[in-house]
């Protein structure tokens, strides 16, 4: 299978075997079907893309500076693929692999992958899985990675959301429950300690129109042509969907929203600078810049080299495991669905 579809009375969800990618989330509306995430119509376009639309990136999401890290006193050099750094698992990471279906029904899908680094730099033989579960308007995914020797693993799903179905995300409102954010150098590597967002355009608490944030006068926003930053989530690292969500994206014009809960320590928010230069999306042409906002629940960028950040080390018997739950609001229930 190259794709699998989950569906219920609220949503239709397409997952691709290539990159275990969340390729489509479709809501029915009175005006017809609306795609709520960015994807590719064609796996060749996905393979040639550098934007990881919906892909499961790993073994380590985000950047490892210069692709280097030291583990138990041994230096390791990963292949680099982004301005001298290793990004999203490097050139042969999880998102480039064809995953195997281990379990599938109309509302669940579990994909697995056994991975050793084809470029030779990454220690360990990793066994990874992602389980998608669709339950009402809720789409939950759980990622697990185990290893045969101590190594690093901190994967994440990399979906871009656009609740309008087309155009840009400028008129979306984003609320991220985070008092701190990580500022970065010119290559996307965090510098210094987490910065208090209070009184800055980075403060998304309570909800801010994204267009206003992206047009704000701030050197970090100018350097990234928008947001491309890890927010340090205020919560305690436990997924409990009875508490307030970690982030809420809303599109007031359509009345649609997305609430996100995660057990991961940070949420990378990337507002899609440069997307126009990517390979074609679902409808035959590339998406525009700011055509979606990537909301990536993950470990801290470059944690591999920052002992002050939460550790991303795993070892035999101590696997990586993480769950993120999305709840769509304002999506209509279709009572004709069996």
Kindly list the catalytic residues.
158, 296
Which residues, 79 to 118, sit near ligand GAL by CB under 6 A? Answer: 87
Tell me the pairing of strands 151-152 and 313-314: antiparallel
Q: Is 52 one of the binding residues for ligand GAL (CB under 6 A)?
A: yes
Q: Residue 233's Cα: distance from chain center in Å?
A: 15
Residue 22-41 contact track with ligand GAL, rule CB under 6 A, x = bound: --------------------
Of the ranges 46-54, 137-145, 235-243, 327-335, which one interacts with ligand GAL (CB under 6 A)? 46-54
For ligand GAL, the closer CB: 124 or 272: 272
Query: What string of DSSP letters covers 91-138?
Result: TTSGGGSBPEEEEE-SSEEEEEEEE--TTS-S-S-EEEEEEEEEETTE
Residue 270-289 contact track with ligand GAL, rule CB under 6 A, x = bound: x-------------------
Question: Residues 161, 156, 322, CA angle at the centre, nearest 5°?
Answer: 115
Of the ranges 17-25, 45-53, 124-132, 139-147, which one interacts with ligand GAL (CB under 6 A)? 45-53
211 Cβ partners below 8 Å, 6+ apart?
Answer: 168, 170, 171
For ligand GAL, the closer CB: 255 or 274: 274
Q: Is 294 one of the binding residues for ligand GAL (CB under 6 A)?
A: yes
Please tell me what DSSP assigns to residue 81. -
Of the ranges 48-56, 131-139, 201-209, 311-319, which one interacts with ligand GAL (CB under 6 A)? 48-56
For ligand GAL, the closer CB: 228 or 259: 228
Of the ranges 50-58, 71-79, 189-197, 284-292, which one interacts with ligand GAL (CB under 6 A)? 50-58
- Any idea which residue has 């009875």 for tokens? 242
Minimum distance from residue 327 beta carbon to ligand GAL (Å)? 23
Choosing from 59, 93, 137, 188, the residue that interacts with ligand GAL (CB under 6 A) is: 188
Q: Is 228 one of the binding residues for ligand GAL (CB under 6 A)?
A: yes
Of the ranges 2-10, 47-55, 204-212, 328-336, which one interacts with ligand GAL (CB under 6 A)? 47-55
187 vs 53: CA distance, rounded Å? 20
For ligand GAL, the closer CB: 85 or 323: 85
Residues in a beta bridge with 298? 266
Under a CB-based contact definition with an 8 Å cutoff, are residues 62 and 268 in contact?
A: yes
Minimum distance from residue 184 beta carbon to ligand GAL (Å)? 9
172 Cβ partners below 8 Å, 6+ apart?
Answer: 162, 163, 164, 209, 210, 249, 250, 251, 293
Q: Is 140 one of the binding residues for ligand GAL (CB under 6 A)?
A: no
Q: Is 45 one of the binding residues for ligand GAL (CB under 6 A)?
A: no
Minimum distance from residue 73 beta carbon to ligand GAL (Å)? 30
Residues in a beta bridge with 260? 247, 326
Q: Is 263 one of the binding residues for ligand GAL (CB under 6 A)?
A: no
- In our burial notation (b when 16+ CB lie closer than 10 A, e otherwise), range 3-41 reads ebebbbebbbbbbbbbbbbbbbbbbbeeeeebbbbbbbe
Q: Is 268 one of the binding residues for ligand GAL (CB under 6 A)?
A: yes
Choosing from 19, 27, 36, 51, the residue that interacts with ligand GAL (CB under 6 A) is: 51
Question: What 3-state class would DSSP assign to 301?
Answer: coil
For the record, the structure tokens of 231 come out as 């927010």
225 vs 272: CA distance, rounded Å? 9
For ligand GAL, the closer CB: 62 or 146: 62
- Interacting residue ranges for ligand GAL, rule: CB under 6 A: 50-52, 87, 188, 228, 268, 270, 294, 296
């Amino acid at each position: 299978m190259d794709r699998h579809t989950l569906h219920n009375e609220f949503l239709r969800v397409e997952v691709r075997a290539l990159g275990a990618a969340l390729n489509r989330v479709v809501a029915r509306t009175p005006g017809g079907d609306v795609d709520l995430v960015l994807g590719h119509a064609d796996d060749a376009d996905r393979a040639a893309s550098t934007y990881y639309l919906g892909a499961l990136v790993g073994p380590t999401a985000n950047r490892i500076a210069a692709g280097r890290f030291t583990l138990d006193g041994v230096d390791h050099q990963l292949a680099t693929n982004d301005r001298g750094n290793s990004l999203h698992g490097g050139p042969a990471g999880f998102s480039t692999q064809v995953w195997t279906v281990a379990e599938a029904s109309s509302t669940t899908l579990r994909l697995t992958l056994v991975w050793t680094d084809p470029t030779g730099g990454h220690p360990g033989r990793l066994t990874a899985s992602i389980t998608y579960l669709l339950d009402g308007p809720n789409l939950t995914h759980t990622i697990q990675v185990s290893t045969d020797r101590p190594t690093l693993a901190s994967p994440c799903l990399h979906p871009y959301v656009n609740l309008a179905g087309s155009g840009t995300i400028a008129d979306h409102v984003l609320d991220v429950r985070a008092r701190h954010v990580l500022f970065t150098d010119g290559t996307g590597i965090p510098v210094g300690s987490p910065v208090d967002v209070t009184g800055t355009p980075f403060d998304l608490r309570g909800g801010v129109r994204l267009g206003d944030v992206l047009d704000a006068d701030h050197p970090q926003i100018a350097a990234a042509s928008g947001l491309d930053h890890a927010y340090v989530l205020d919560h305690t690292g436990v997924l409990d969907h009875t508490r307030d969500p970690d982030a809420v994206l809303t599109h007031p014009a359509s009345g649609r929203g997305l609430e996100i809960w995660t057990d991961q320590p940070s949420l990378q928010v990337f507002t899609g600078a440069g997307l126009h230069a990517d390979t074609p999306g679902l409808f035959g042409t590339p998406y525009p810049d700011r055509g979606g906002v990537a909301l990536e629940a993950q470990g801290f960028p470059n944690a591999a080299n920052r002992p002050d950040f939460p550790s991303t080390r795993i070892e035999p018997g101590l696997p990586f495991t993480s769950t993120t739950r999305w709840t769509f609001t304002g999506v209509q229930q279709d009572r004709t669905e069996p």
